[in-house]
Structure 1
Amino acid sequence: MEKVRLSDIAERIGVSTVTVHNALSGNKGVGEELRKQIQEVADEMGYQPPSARRQIKEAREFYTIGVLIAENYLAQYTTFYWRMYQDMAIIATEKHCFTAVEVLKKEDEIKTYKMPACLEEGRLDGLVVIGEIDKTYISHLKENSDIPLVFMDFYDSKLAEDAVIQDNFYGMFMLTEYMFEQGVDELAFVGSIFSTSSIMDRYCGFMKSMTLHGKNIHPEWLIEDRDEFGHMEFDLPHKLPKGFVCNCDLAASLVMDKLNDRGIRVPDDISVVGFDNYLYPGLPDRNITTYEVNKKAMARVALEKILKQIRNPKSGHGMSVISGNMVIKKTVKQKN
């Protein structure tokens, strides 16, 4: 039997999903006559409240956790999130969970707002969203679902309040400080800062270090590295800095290619750092000094959050920040 959703009840009566949720949850803002009507329709349609479903789930040995990844994160050179999902799938077996991954098409994300098929079919006990997606889509996702939601590598205090993120700010701050320690004090930042909250946080960490050293970034040294679909392409400025602080290792690798085309050596002439300690399979190892993200720890904490909500929906929500570590390789010129 197909699970009855709040949106099904809302459509039958002609009210919003939020109104149905408030009525069935005993929240304020719904008149008694309408509340009674909603309850009667819910009973007639066979709606099963979360508390009843939870008792059934608690009797089960395994849970099914959905994983949603936007298609633009799975394009060429951007498979970091796929590796993150693989780590999650392995850890899920330890926690008696099945995982079901689904790709969110761009049209569904920004136009049709179509819900994930595995969610529509009522097969999931919880859903993990990996990577930042459209906020309007998140609103629709929450309105049309009453299962636990956890977000990885993205946080929003109103929409994505239960989240696991990497330490973007201090990771990039530490990398930039390392550049200054080695005497590299004219720096550019490579990254589209309004593309994702992660890149913005990394830029803020970079700027904290710059500010502490009394430095301002030249406008031409703040370099956009991708378009709205995540495709990476950019040009370097004519006047070059002493070092490039890049929002990811792929951007750092592309910077190195462009410098090589100009006959400029890394690190002898210009220093470069990246972030993530990850390059697309097949690309050569460039020995990039970087900040390694602890993907396994992020996956483990995300699953723990999901299971906690399944077992106790009233448990608190919040953001968990997972620290990584600097990996010193060979792309920063050492101070004499």
Structure 2
Amino acid sequence: MAKSVKLADIAEKVGVSVVTVSKALSGQKGVSEQMREKIIKLADELGYKQPSASAKETSEGAGYNIGILIHEKHFSKYNSFYLQMYQMLSAKISDMQSYSMLEVITYNMEDELILSNMLREKRVSSLILLGEFSKEYCAFLKKNVSVPTVYLDFNDENQEMQSVISDSFYGSYYLTNYLFEKGHTDIAFVGSLLQTASITDRYLGYLKAMMEHGITPGKDRIIEDRDKDTGIIFEAHKFKLPSKMPTAFVCNCDLTAGELIKKLEEKGYNVPDDISVVGYDNFIFPGVCDVKITTYEVDMKQMVDRTISIVESLLQGKTVDQHVHIVTGHIVEKESVKSIK
């Protein structure tokens, strides 16, 4: 059936990203005309059916058009966490006999407060924001978009919106305590504070564990991990290590942990024999790092299931009392931590 063909299927056959396919099919800039024609032709051959221009199909038994917005910064090199989450969302939406529409919000669109095509043309009946956007853009959408909206993997405390997030605070708290159990006391945190709500929450979880053990980390124990303007995670050579090295690092995500490990190896350190490292997500692009990273696994399936459940309730006119839905995960022990007791 046509609805089983996904953007990812087209992207794989053409050899481009899902973002490129989305831009080509929705008429956005950033795709050559030759590539656009190739993508459109293949989509037709595969039987891909673009969602109707109306927000809800009128034929009997048809479902909703559910829009998914994602910022282009979440498609940086090796960062396919949100691509996997999008694919899970798309599958769940298909299961409910509805259609998903993906559009990428560029830096310029966010800065200039520009609506996506599907919102401007009122083509969707519900909206999912996947991954964090600026507070200004969230406020702009709330003012200009009337359809039910859910934030996935971030929360904006300034907006009373439905959001589904992982347990960043306690996930990082548990990881830091795990390192203490292994004998580590000099522990640094890797993450650019206030860059995203989840990084800040993970830092606060780390800080709580440190303070409960009678330690107040100095400024040299907070390591920047990404560009403050773009939000893109540094590659290994851009990490600035402290002059006095800790025995362990708590990283705000596995991709950061992988790049940090490469930096440490460049400096002659061995992980975990010399320094231990933990991450967050239990998701990393193959080839980023040879060391299997001990991490806090995000229950991606439950987050997606909860999001779709909320969307269905809102579309049916039901009241969802709780605004922030926190999904817990668990520590996954691998190879990146050594006991120094």
Read off the aligned partner of 2:306 and give its amino acid letter.
V
CA distance in 1, matches of 2:272, 2:247: 10
CA distance in 1, matches of 2:161, 2:202: 20
> Which residue pairs with 1:67 in the alignment?
68
Read off the aligned partner of 2:336 and give its amino acid letter.
T
Counterparts in 2 of 1:54 and 1:229: CA distance versus 1, 3 Å: closer
Aligned: 1:321 with 2:322: no
Q: 1:158 is paired with a residue of what secondary structure? A: coil
CA distance in 1, matches of 2:162, 2:282: 26
Q: Where do 1:170-249 residues align within 5 Å?
A: 170-227=170-227, 228-233=229-234, 234-249=239-254
Q: 1:83 is paired with a residue of what secondary structure? A: helix
Q: Is the 8 A contact 1:271 1:333 kept in 2?
A: yes
> Which residue pairs with 1:7 in the alignment?
none
Task: Quote how far apart the aligned CAs of 1:156 are.
Answer: 2.1
Task: Quote how far apart the aligned CAs of 1:126 are.
Answer: 0.3
Aligned: 1:262 with 2:267: yes
Q: Which runs of 5+ in 2 are unaligned?
A: 1-53
CA distance in 2, matches of 1:58, 1:168: 43
Count how many residue pairs are aligned between Structure 1 and Structure 2. Answer: 283
CA distance in 2, matches of 1:54, 1:242: 55
Counterparts in 2 of 1:240 and 1:304: CA distance versus 1, 3 Å: same
The root-mean-square deviation of aligned C-alpha atoms, in Å, is 2.0
> Which residue pairs with 1:306 in the alignment?
311
Q: Which runs of 5+ in 1 are unaligned?
A: 1-52
Task: Quote how far apart the aligned CAs of 1:94 are.
Answer: 1.9
Q: 2:156 is paired with a residue of what secondary structure? A: coil
Task: Quote how far apart the aligned CAs of 1:314 are.
Answer: 4.7
Q: 2:265 is paired with a residue of what secondary structure? A: helix
> Which residue pairs with 1:41 in the alignment?
none
Can you list the C-alpha shifts for 1:24-82, whole angstroms capped at 9, x where unaligned?
xxxxxxxxxxxxxxxxxxxxxxxxxxxxx999879653111110000111111322111
Counterparts in 2 of 1:181 and 1:308: CA distance versus 1, 3 Å: same
Task: Quote how far apart the aligned CAs of 1:114 are.
Answer: 1.2
> Which residue pairs with 2:92 in the alignment?
91
Read off the aligned partner of 1:298 and give its amino acid letter.
M
Aligned: 1:252 with 2:253: no
Task: Quote how far apart the aligned CAs of 1:231 are.
Answer: 2.4
Task: Quote how far apart the aligned CAs of 1:96 are.
Answer: 2.1
Q: 2:326 is paired with a residue of what secondary structure? A: strand
Q: 1:245 is paired with a residue of what secondary structure? A: strand
Relative to the length of structure 1, the TM-score reads 0.79
2:301 maps to which of 291, 296, 303: 296
Counterparts in 2 of 1:55 and 1:267: CA distance versus 1, 3 Å: closer
Question: Does 68-77 or 193-202 show the bigger shift?
Answer: 68-77
Question: Does 278-287 or 55-64 show the bigger shift?
Answer: 55-64
> Which residue pairs with 2:51 in the alignment?
none
Q: 2:280 is paired with a residue of what secondary structure? A: coil
Q: Is the 8 A contact 2:313 2:319 kept in 1?
A: no
Counterparts in 2 of 1:221 and 1:160: CA distance versus 1, 3 Å: same
Task: Quote how far apart the aligned CAs of 1:324 are.
Answer: 1.1
CA distance in 2, matches of 1:245, 1:95: 39
Task: Quote how far apart the aligned CAs of 1:285 are.
Answer: 4.5
Identity level (%)? 38
Read off the aligned partner of 2:215 and give its amino acid letter.
K
Task: Quote how far apart the aligned CAs of 1:281 are.
Answer: 3.9
Counterparts in 2 of 1:186 and 1:248: CA distance versus 1, 3 Å: same
Q: Where do 1:15-26 residues align within 5 Å?
A: none
CA distance in 2, matches of 1:273, 1:288: 6
